[in-house]
């Protein structure tokens, strides 16, 4: 099989790494890729949100299977265009990608499916939204409806914060994404992510993870895209997973099918779990980043078979063999992240690290220049390890982190603290 992976972050490095372990992969191209991906696969410059450009590339390179990493190409309809050409693609069509691209859409689908989630209301008018906040009180959660690169959510502890967030969003800080605002009940509990493969009809759980969204140790400070993750998530017990499938995933998939927009790809189910009861925080239409890195580390070569079965409508016959193992990834980020940061600082010490089925450094934002690896993003490296216990995985991951010589970067020392406690 000739395979194309779209994207160029740590998630796509992990997807490429797992795909290459499967003998069914004859040739792998990643577009645009990064310095870490270039060490294991061909990389190609391509505008991955341009439907026609992607379709032409796929034809020219005789690609049989396309795996879409990030949400932007899905929201732009790249999967639709490829399916029109008869190409097998992992990732939902544009209409189904609304489950991530519009928070109000997701809430409507949940209501129709009777899936448990926070009470909510939608507004296009600031005065009405403010009146709603005054009526409900704080804490309360204010969200820009559209894609805002993970920044469009404000968990307001006071009414004043909620009103400020509304001024911001209706004032245009998030562009079109903030023209409509969703206001939600604040939910308490422990958060975890559940990954489910979907082929339009059947659904197959693909693992659980927890990530650390705050930049600082002890889960403090501003939100980020994720500073580290581990799998499995202890709070997502078999019982919680079964309830999530019965109460949220299957009813939502049935509702999507009823609407004529069946969902194919991976559904990232972000949950708030309290007293064993799961409620939906959000869906994403792609793997989490960095959660994907720990899931791929645990699945290895099986990941390609599972994604291919999802794209091909064969999930009913697919089985995943889980080892009784644990994985952790520690994100190394550029000083200043998630605020402004410098690009171009050099990272040393990567060459001497082990790279095998238990130890991998996935690159998220790097470029190669001369013989050097330079940081080009906010989140730059995902130092990932697998072990028989989470403690074992953490020890391996931090042993690698400690060998990396990058004065321009930082990381959290406490990834997994809740589970390790
Ligand atoms: P989202 O982008 O929807 O995942 O929101 C980002 C983060 O905000 C989530 O991971 C939660 O920590 C928090 N959050 C979002 N919605 C709620 C809610 N209704 N109640 C409590 N926390 C929330
Ligand atoms: N790590 C959170 C996300 O990928 O949305």
Q: Is 10 exposed, middle or buried (0-12, 13-18, 19+ CB in 10 A)?
A: buried
Query: Which CATH number do you get for residue 48?
Result: 3.40.50.20
pLDDT in the model for residue 178: 65
Query: Which CATH number do you get for residue 279?
Result: 3.30.470.20
Q: Is 323 exposed, middle or buried (0-12, 13-18, 19+ CB in 10 A)?
A: exposed
Q: In angstroms, what is the span from residue 94 Cα to ligand 2's centroid?
A: 20
pLDDT in the model for residue 173: 77
Residue 137 is assigned to a structural domain of this protein: yes
- 152 and 242 part of one domain: no
pLDDT in the model for residue 175: 74
Identify the weakest region by mean pLDDT among 102-111, 177-186, 272-281, 385-394.
177-186
Percent of the chain with pLDDT over 70: 99
Q: Is the CB of 189 under 6 A from ligand 1?
A: no
Q: Which of 263, 284, 282, 286 is nearest to 271 (CA)?
A: 282
- 202 and 253 part of one domain: yes
Q: Is the CB of 291 under 6 A from ligand 2?
A: yes
DSSP notation for 316-383: GG------S-EEEEEEEEETTTTS------EEBS-TTS--SSSEEEEESSEEEETTEEEE-SSEEEEE
pLDDT in the model for residue 327: 98
pLDDT in the model for residue 152: 84
Q: pLDDT digits over 279-295, tens only?
A: 999 999 999 999 999 99
Phi, psi of 86 (to 5 degrees): 80, 15
Mutate to test the pocket of ligand 2, among 12, 106, 191, 268 (most ligand atoms within 8 A of CB): 268
- 197 and 285 part of one domain: yes
Q: Which ligand minimizes its atom distance to the CA of 229? A: 2
Mutate to test the pocket of ligand 2, among 103, 284, 293 (most ligand atoms within 8 A of CB): 284
Residue 109 is assigned to a structural domain of this protein: no
Phi, psi of 410 (to 5 degrees): -145, 170
Who contacts 195 (Cβ-Cβ below 8 Å, separation ≥6)?
Answer: 205, 206, 207, 208, 209, 266, 267, 268, 269, 287, 288, 291, 295
Q: Is 227 exposed, middle or buried (0-12, 13-18, 19+ CB in 10 A)?
A: buried
Model pTM score: 0.95
- 299 and 347 part of one domain: no
State yes or no: pLDDT of 149 exceeds 70. no
Residue span of the structural domain in which 32 resides: 2-93
Q: pLDDT digits over 54-68, tens only?
A: 999 999 999 999 999
**The last residue of a domain, from among 179, 205, 223:** 179
- 248 and 216 part of one domain: yes
Structure tokens at 381: 């490296």
Who contacts 207 (Cβ-Cβ below 8 Å, separation ≥6)?
Answer: 195, 231, 232, 295, 298, 299, 322
Residue 110 is assigned to a structural domain of this protein: no
pLDDT in the model for residue 146: 80
Phi, psi of 136 (to 5 degrees): -85, -30
Q: Is the CB of 384 under 6 A from ligand 2?
A: no
Please, what is the average pLDDT of the chain?
Answer: 95
Please report, to the nearest 10 degrees, the dihedral formed by the alpha carbons of residues 227, 228, 229, 230 taken in order. -160
pLDDT in the model for residue 357: 94
Check if the beta carbon of residue 75 is closer than 8 Å to that of residue 151: no
- Average of per-residue pLDDT across 375-391: 97
CA–CA distance, 10 with 147 (Å, rounded to integer): 20
Residue 105 is assigned to a structural domain of this protein: no
Q: pLDDT digits over 222-247, tens only?
A: 889 999 999 999 999 999 999 999 99
Q: In angstroms, what is the span from residue 111 Cα to ligand 1's centroid?
A: 18
Residue 257 is assigned to a structural domain of this protein: yes
Q: In angstroms, what is the span from residue 15 Cα to ligand 1's centroid?
A: 26
- 199 and 313 part of one domain: yes
- 200 and 297 part of one domain: yes
- 204 and 266 part of one domain: yes
pLDDT in the model for residue 396: 98
CA–CA distance, 75 with 94 (Å, rounded to integer): 5
pLDDT in the model for residue 150: 63
- 359 and 385 part of one domain: yes
Q: In angstroms, what is the span from residue 340 Cα to ligand 1's centroid?
A: 23
Q: Which of 161, 155, 127, 126 is nearest to 143 (CA)?
A: 155
Q: In angstroms, what is the span from residue 370 Cα to ligand 2's centroid?
A: 32
pLDDT in the model for residue 148: 72
Phi, psi of 399 (to 5 degrees): -65, -40
- 200 and 251 part of one domain: yes
Residue 7 is assigned to a structural domain of this protein: yes
Query: Which CATH number do you get for residue 416?
Result: 3.90.600.10
Residue 111 is assigned to a structural domain of this protein: no
- 308 and 227 part of one domain: yes
- 194 and 301 part of one domain: yes
**The last residue of a domain, from among 156, 179, 202:** 179
Domain count, the chain: 4
Classify residue 186 by its DSSP letter. P
Q: pLDDT digits over 163-198, tens only?
A: 999 998 888 777 776 678 999 999 999 999 999 999
Ligand 2 atom closest to Cα of residue 289: 4
Residue nearest to atom 5 of ligand 2 (CA): 288
**The last residue of a domain, from among 259, 288, 317:** 317
From first CA to last CA, the distance across the chain in angstroms is 44
Residue 41 is assigned to a structural domain of this protein: yes
Query: Which CATH number do you get for residue 175?
Result: 3.30.1490.20
Check if the beta carbon of residue 5 is closer than 8 Å to that of residue 78: no
Who contacts 298 (Cβ-Cβ below 8 Å, separation ≥6)?
Answer: 207, 231, 322, 323, 325, 326, 327, 386
């Amino acid at each position: 099989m000739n395979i194309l992976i779209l994207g160029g972050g740590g998630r796509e490095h992990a997807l490429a790494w797992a795909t290459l372990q499967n003998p069914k992969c004859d040739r792998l191209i990643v577009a645009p890729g990064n310095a870490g991906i270039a060490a294991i696969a061909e990389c190609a410059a391509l505008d991955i949100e341009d439907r026609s450009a992607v379709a032409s590339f796929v034809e020219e390179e005789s690609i049989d299977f396309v795996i879409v990493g990030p949400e932007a190409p899905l929201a732009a309809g790249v999967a639709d265009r490829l399916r029109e050409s008869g190409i097998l693609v992992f990732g939902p069509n544009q209409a189904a990608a609304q489950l991530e691209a519009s928070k109000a859409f997701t809430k409507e689908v949940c209501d129709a499916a009777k899936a448990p989630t926070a009470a909510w209301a939608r507004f296009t008018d600031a005065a009405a939204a403010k009146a709603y906040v005054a009526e409900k009180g704080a804490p309360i959660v204010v969200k820009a409806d559209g894609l805002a690169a993970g920044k469009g959510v404000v968990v307001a502890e006071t009414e004043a914060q909620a009103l400020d967030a509304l001024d911001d969003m209706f004032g245009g800080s998030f562009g079109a994404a903030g023209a409509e605002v969703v206001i939600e009940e604040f939910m308490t509990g422990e958060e975890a992510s559940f990954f489910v493969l979907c082929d339009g009809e059947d659904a197959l759980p693909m693992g659980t993870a927890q990530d650390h969204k705050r930049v600082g140790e002890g889960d403090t400070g501003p939100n980020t895209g994720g500073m580290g993750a581990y799998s499995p998530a202890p709070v997502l017990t078999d019982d919680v997973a079964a309830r999530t499938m019965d109460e949220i995933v299957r009813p939502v998939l049935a509702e999507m099918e009823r609407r004529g927009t069946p969902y194919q790809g991976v559904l990232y189910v972000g949950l708030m779990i309290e007293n064993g009861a799961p409620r939906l925080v959000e869906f994403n239409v792609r793997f989490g980043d960095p959660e994907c890195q720990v899931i791929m580390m645990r699945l290895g070569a099986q990941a390609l078979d599972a994604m291919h079965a999802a794209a091909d409508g064969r999930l009913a016959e697919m089985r995943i063999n889980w080892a009784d193992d644990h994985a952790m990834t520690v994100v190394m980020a550029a000083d200043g992240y998630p605020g402004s940061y410098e690009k171009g600082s050099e990272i040393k010490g990567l060459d001497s690290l082990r790279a095998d089925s238990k130890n991998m450094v996935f690159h998220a934002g790097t470029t190669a220049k001369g013989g050097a690896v330079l940081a080009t993003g906010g989140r730059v490296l995902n130092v990932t390890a697998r072990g028989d216990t989470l403690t074992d995985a953490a020890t391996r991951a931090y042993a690698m982190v400690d060998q990396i010589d990058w004065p321009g970067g930082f990381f959290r020392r406490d990834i997994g603290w809740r589970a390790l406690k």
